[in-house]
């Protein structure tokens, strides 16, 4: 949904509402080119929610005297979270916006028992299979060898625990597959740590090994102690409640034959 807003002296400010993993956001900006790029990039995640968090892009002065709950800087672009609104400043293109959105989501998910993970997610028989690993591990191979429409994301998966069930959500954050993620979710079947090998093989992991597999692939940007304690609590719960495996695979679709159903 896009709506022009009155913004005297700066040209019309436009807004775009979206929802990623049920985190509702409203982007407001005056830059028409950036607005066009953002609304196209996040079109599949467009959603008008009742009470979205407002993000003001390059909006000028910050709220007077308001304390900053969370701040992050990335290559000249800055995120500041105030109690009343979020500010993204120095955002020159859609890539900077995309990066700050990932940072913001990773922070907001802490309060929703969720996290972002470098992982491709594929839905099969109604369940989400999560394939995690760094660049080159095979996430794009998994995504590209899966049936059309079954890939929630080929790069960044969003996991959150809702009503006692872990669900995986698609995100609009692209990987090598260059496909916009799917704005849908499914209950998690398992987390699979990708390892390239000559033969397909799965090995079940203990919770501490799942945690060990998750940690290097979690997107998190706060060095603040309480935030890290909260993240570790969430990840420990995920590692205890979600089945996890090492998946040695041949970089083609035959790996499905060895996965647990």
Partner 1 sequence: MSTPATVFWQKNPALAWREIDGETVIISPNDSVMHELNDTGSFLWKNIDGEKSAAELAELLVENYEVTPDIALSDTQALLEEMSSRKLLVTVSAIGRVSP
- Asked if 92 is part of the footprint of partner 1 (rule: CB under 8 A), the reply reads no
- Asked if 10 is part of the footprint of partner 1 (rule: CB under 8 A), the reply reads no
Tokens of residue 46, six digits: 């467009």
In the bound state with partner 1, the residue whose beta carbon lies nearer, of 51 and 225, is 225
- Asked if 243 is part of the footprint of partner 1 (rule: CB under 8 A), the reply reads no
Cα 169 from Cα 193, distance rounded (Å):
18
Bridge partner residues of 118 (DSSP):
156
- Asked if 220 is part of the footprint of partner 1 (rule: CB under 8 A), the reply reads yes
Strands 86-89 and 53-57: parallel
DSSP-derived 3-state class of residue 45: helix
Please select the residue that binds partner 1; options are 63, 212, 253, 258, rule is CB under 8 A.
Answer: 212
Cα 256 off chain centre by: 25
Cα 37 from Cα 66, distance rounded (Å):
31
In the bound state with partner 1, the residue whose beta carbon lies nearer, of 125 and 225, is 225
- Asked if 222 is part of the footprint of partner 1 (rule: CB under 8 A), the reply reads yes
In the bound state with partner 1, the residue whose beta carbon lies nearer, of 105 and 235, is 235
Closest approach of Cβ 252 to partner 1, in Å? 32
- Asked if 196 is part of the footprint of partner 1 (rule: CB under 8 A), the reply reads no
Stretch that binds partner 1, among 35-43, 106-114, 193-201, 235-243 (CB under 8 A): 235-243
In the bound state with partner 1, the residue whose beta carbon lies nearer, of 123 and 211, is 211
CA atoms within 13 A on the CB side of 26: 17
With both helix axes pointing from N to C terminus, report the angle between 207-214 and 225-241 in degrees, rounded to the nearest 10.
130
Please select the residue that binds partner 1; options are 63, 236, 251, 253, rule is CB under 8 A.
Answer: 236
In the bound state with partner 1, the residue whose beta carbon lies nearer, of 171 and 217, is 217
Please select the residue that binds partner 1; options are 134, 206, 243, 260, rule is CB under 8 A.
Answer: 206
In the bound state with partner 1, the residue whose beta carbon lies nearer, of 73 and 224, is 224
Q: How many residues bind partner 1 (CB under 8 A)?
A: 20
In the block, residue with structure tokens 């035959």: 254
Cα 98 off chain centre by: 10
Cβ–Cβ < 8 Å for 192, 259: yes
Stretch that binds partner 1, among 28-36, 73-81, 192-200, 233-241 (CB under 8 A): 233-241
Residue 96's contacts (CB-CB under 8 Å, 6 or more residues apart) are: 74, 75, 76, 77, 90
Please select the residue that binds partner 1; options are 228, 243, 254, 260, rule is CB under 8 A.
Answer: 228
- Asked if 224 is part of the footprint of partner 1 (rule: CB under 8 A), the reply reads yes
- Asked if 203 is part of the footprint of partner 1 (rule: CB under 8 A), the reply reads no
Cβ–Cβ < 8 Å for 151, 182: yes
Three-class HEC string of 191-214: EEEEEECCCCEEEECCHHHHHHHH
Which chain residues interact with partner 1 by CB under 8 A? 206-208, 211-212, 215, 220, 222-225, 227-229, 231-233, 236, 239-240
């Amino acid at each position: 949904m896009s709506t022009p807003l009155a913004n005297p002296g700066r040209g019309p400010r436009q807004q775009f509402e979206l929802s990623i993993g049920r985190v509702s956001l409203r982007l407001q900006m005056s830059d028409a080119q950036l607005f066009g790029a953002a609304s196209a990039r996040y079109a599949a995640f467009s959603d008008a929610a009742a009470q979205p968090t407002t993000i003001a892009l390059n909006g000028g002065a910050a709220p007077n005297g308001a304390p900053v709950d969370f701040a992050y800087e990335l290559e000249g672009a800055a995120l500041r979270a105030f109690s009343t609104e979020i500010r993204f400043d120095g955002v020159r293109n859609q890539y900077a916006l995309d990066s700050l959105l990932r940072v913001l989501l990773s922070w907001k998910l802490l309060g929703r028992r969720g996290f972002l993970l470098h992982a491709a997610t594929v839905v099969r028989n109604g369940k989400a299979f999560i394939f995690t690993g760094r660049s080159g591990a095979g996430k794009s191979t998994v995504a590209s060898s899966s049936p059309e429409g079954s890939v929630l994301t080929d790069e960044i998966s969003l996991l959150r625990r809702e009503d006692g069930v872990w669900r995986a959500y698609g995100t609009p954050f692209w990987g090598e597959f260059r496909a916009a993620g799917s704005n849908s979710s499914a209950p998690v079947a398992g987390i699979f740590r990708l390892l390239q090998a000559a033969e397909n093989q799965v090995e079940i992991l203990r919770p501490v090994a799942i945690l060990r597999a998750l940690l290097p692939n979690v997107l998190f940007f706060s060095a603040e102690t309480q935030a890290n304690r909260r993240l570790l609590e969430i990840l420990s719960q995920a590692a205890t409640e979600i089945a996890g495996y090492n998946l040695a695979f041949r970089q083609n679709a035959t790996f499905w034959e060895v996965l647990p159903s």
